[in-house]
């Protein structure tokens, strides 16, 4: 797992890419040296650019370099849904697709929740979608310096567990080659 969100928020992708590229490159070189058969899960922002960098520097096939997006963002969305509906977060399953940033696509699939359907006002749904999109930035702004370490770390661990223990569907950010009509970008897909 690579995580190195130094110095800048994900809303400043150019500056972030410049400061994080060297870190990602150095870490990936060590990964390749010491663990040549591993799967790399890139957590570093800007996610697409850093996953591209990890793929290139590692020389790994694309099925061994993945971005960690959906699990983190879905967990945040589930939290907000649970707070709104006053149910346990354990009973909410959310799905967030697309890029990891303010343009991500949180899907308000409340019908998938394992609790009796209840009407959620459109304004509340819109607020949940918006807060999910800006969840990382919200934490970064609260911390003032550094990045949102805890949720990304927990989400990366959760992603590894799902790889190893379940075949349950979840979203991650691979490099599609035309699947879902997407090519050449690390974005969240099912
Ligand atoms: C996050 O979403 C900052 O991208 C980081 O926690």
Residue extents of the structural domains in the chain: 1-68+172-190, 71-94+105-149
Question: How many angstroms does the Cα of residue 116 sit away from the middle of ligand 1?
Answer: 31
Q: How many residues does the chain have?
A: 190
According to the model, what pLDDT value does residue 17 have? 86
Nearest CA to ligand 1 atom 2: 136
1-68+172-190 and 71-94+105-149 share one fold: no
- Whether CATH 3.40.50.720 fits 1-68+172-190: yes
Cis amide prior to 40 (ω within 30 degrees)? no
Say how far apart CA 5 and CA 47 lie, in whole Å.
10
Annotation marks residue 100 as catalytic: yes
- CB of 148 sitting under 6 A from ligand 1: yes
Q: What is the pLDDT of residues 23-65, one digit of tens each?
A: 999 999 999 999 999 999 999 989 999 999 999 999 999 999 9
Query: 144 C-alpha to center of ligand 1: Å?
Result: 13
Q: Which fold has domain 71-94+105-149?
A: L-2-Hydroxyisocaproate Dehydrogenase; Chain A, domain 2 (3.90.110)
Mean pLDDT within 2-18: 60
Expressed in angstroms, the distance from the first to the final Cα of the chain is: 20
pTM: 0.84
- Nearest atom of ligand 1 to the alpha carbon of 76: 2
Q: What is the pLDDT of residues 70-120, one digit of tens each?
A: 889 999 998 998 898 888 888 888 889 998 887 899 987 755 555 555 667
Q: Out of 7, 34, 93, 100, which one is annotated catalytic?
A: 100
The response to whether residue 140 sits with its C-beta less than 6 Å from ligand 1 reads: yes
Ligand 1 proximity of 75 Cβ (cutoff 6 Å): no
For residue 170, give the 3-state DSSP assignment. coil
């Amino acid at each position: 797992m690579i995580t190195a969100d130094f110095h800048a928020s994900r809303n400043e992708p150019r500056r972030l890419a410049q400061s994080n590229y060297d870190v990602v490159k150095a870490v990936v070189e060590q990964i390749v040296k010491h663990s040549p058969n591993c799967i790399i899960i890139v957590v570093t922002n800007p996610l697409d650019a850093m996953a591209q960098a990890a793929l290139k520097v590692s020389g790994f096939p694309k099925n061994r370099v993945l971005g960690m997006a959906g699990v983190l963002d879905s967990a945040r969305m589930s939290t907000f849904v649970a707070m709104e509906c006053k149910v346990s977060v354990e009973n909410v399953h959310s799905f967030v697709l697309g890029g990891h940033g303010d343009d991500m696509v949180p899907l308000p699939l409340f019908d998938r929740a394992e609790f009796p359907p209840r009407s959620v006002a459109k304004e509340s749904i819109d607020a949940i979608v918006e807060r999910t999109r800006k969840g990382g930035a919200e934490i970064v702004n609260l911390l003032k310096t550094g990045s949102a370490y805890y949720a990304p770390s927990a989400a990366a661990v959760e992603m590894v567990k799902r790889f190893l223990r379940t075949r349950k569907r979840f979203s991650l950010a691979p490099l599609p080659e035309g699947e879902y009509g997407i090519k050449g970008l690390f974005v969240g897909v099912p």
